[in-house]
Amino acid sequence: MIHAAPTPPEGRGPLARREARLAWGLLLPTILIVAAVVVVPLLAIFWISVKPIGLADLRPPAPIAREALRGSGDELRIQYRVRNSSRSEIVSDVTLSDILPPGLEARPVDPRCVVDGRSIFCDLGDFEGGRRETLDFPVVLSGDRDAAEEAAEGSEPVLTGSADNILTNLEFTGENFARVFDGDEFRSVLYVTLFYTVVGTVGALLVGLFAAMLLNKSFRGQGVLRGLYLFPYVAPVIAVAFTWVILFDPFSGSANALLVRMGVAENAINFFGERPLALIMVTVFEIWRYFPLSFLFILARMQSIDEDMYEAADMDGASPFQKFWYLSLPQLLGILSVLFLLRFIWTFNKFDDIFLLTGGNAGTRTLTVNVYEQAFAVSNIGAGAAVAVVIFGCLLIFSIFFFRVMSREEGL
């Protein structure tokens, strides 16, 4: 009896394996690029967040020297100003070596230095953080002064030294996260961030939905009006932000002048300088600036809905609200969910709008503004990275929760 050879499982044959290897080979450059652009900086942020790093520590500790020819006449000297680039870390075994340009010969003065004609070598030992030292060597000039001075200042001495780099050593700390979560400040910043993000995202979706419903019908001038709706989104943020600041300025703004003349307000209102009005204003700016994106996607989805459903609903006597609630809204849930996810993430990470409008003052300090203040205003890079890690954690939790809710909805 002849037995047929067993058929390999689907997708396990030699051809399938070759196709899989080819697919992975084609995907490998993309994976490496994504890892280099996204994963590596993300891991670097996590690493820095647990390191006691200040803004000055981004430059590795090293000895630095400036060379100059000083004096006049027969009293010339070559001068080296040596310093430690770090104000806290020690640079060990610092050495300086230099060869003077032709026409100059140095004389030994410092016992730590060996001078042989034009050659200078100094063993300076350890340099504490912030240490500065000046080395002077009398020189004999046998040529043109200007040429020798230009050659001396144009050359750089060779310095060596070893130091413990805070960026690469194994010293870690939890003070960065303790500073982030310290007291009421973090709760206040988190509340402002959530208010700005949630209200701004939902507001942009609702205004975009309303605008899409208005422009879903054909009429004369529809294209021009759609273009005007897109203006807040395509306009440069720095231009529209300063326009809002000038428009609502308490001293010369047109909005305040109009409110006072109409009797709505007795005195000028500092829209971007008072709590909680400043937070409300930056949120309204967020809604105004980014509703066109929602409007564009929602309008495109609405125009793809079959009109036969609406005609049948009209025949059944359905009201406009019933048609929207039972026909339009279920068709728009998919695009609304995607827009909510994207706008939530983008708004949570938003920095430039708030910084241009208020600078984070008057109760508008969000987590992203806190990153800037910790890293650059306070010069604490580690604390700024810790806030960035908190932002990443918040968005990760939100994304997991969002996709779980969406998967349940799809399962229903």
Per-residue pLDDT tens digits for 98-125: 888 777 788 888 889 988 878 889 999 9
Q: Cα(228)–Cα(224) distance, rounded to whole angstroms? A: 6
Amino acid 330 reads P
List 60's β-bridge partners, or say none: none
Q: What is the mean pLDDT of the chain?
A: 86
3-state secondary structure the chain: CCCCCCCCCCCCCHHHHHHHHHHHHHHHHHHHHHHHHHHHHHHHHHHHHCCCCCHHHHCCCCEEEEEEEEEECCEEEEEEEEEECCCCCCEEEEEEEEECCCCEEECCCCCCEEEECCEEEEEEEEECCCCEEEEEEEEEECCCHHHHHHHHHHCCCEEEEEECCCCCCCCCCCHHHHHHCCHHHHHHHHHHHHHHHHHHHHHHHHHHHHHHHHCCCCCCCHHHHHHHHCHHHHCCHHHHHHHHHHHCCCCCCHHHHHHHHCCCCCCCCCCCCCCCHHHHHHHHHHHHHHHHHHHHHHHHHHCCCCHHHHHHHHHCCCCHHHHHHHHHHHHHHHHHHHHHHHHHHHHHCCCHHHHHHCCCCCCCCCHHHHHHHHHHHCCCHHHHHHHHHHHHHHHHHHHHHHHHHHHHHHHC
Q: 388 with 367: CB under 8 angstroms? A: no
| Percent over 90 (pLDDT), the chain | 37
pLDDT digits (tens, 9 = 90+) for 253-294: 899 899 888 888 888 899 999 989 999 999 999 999 999 999
As a whole number of Å, the CA-based R_g of the chain is 34
pLDDT-based confidence at residue 4 (cuts at 50, 70, 90): low
pLDDT score for 13: 76
171-196 in b/e burial notation, b at 16+ Cβ within 10 A?
Answer: eeeeebbebbeeeeebeebbebbebb
Q: 315 with 248: CB under 8 angstroms? A: no
Res 326 pLDDT > 90? no
Copy the structure tokens of residue 398.
């939100």
Q: Cα(100)–Cα(147) distance, rounded to whole angstroms? A: 12
Among 15-19, 37-41, 346-350, the range with the most confident prediction by mean pLDDT is: 346-350
Task: Please classify residue 254 by burial: count the beta carbons closer than 10 Å to its beta carbon, then call 0-12 exposed, 13-18 middle and 19+ buried.
Answer: exposed
pTM: 0.79
Contacts of 216 (CB under 8 A, 6+ apart): 299, 302, 303
Residue ranges and CATH numbers for the domains of the chain are 61-163 (2.60.40.290), 181-379 (1.10.3720.10)
Among 23-27, 101-105, 106-110, 216-220, the range with the most confident prediction by mean pLDDT is: 23-27
Shortest CA distance to 69 belongs to which of 136, 144, 132, 159? 136
The strand pair at 104-106 and 132-141 is best described as antiparallel
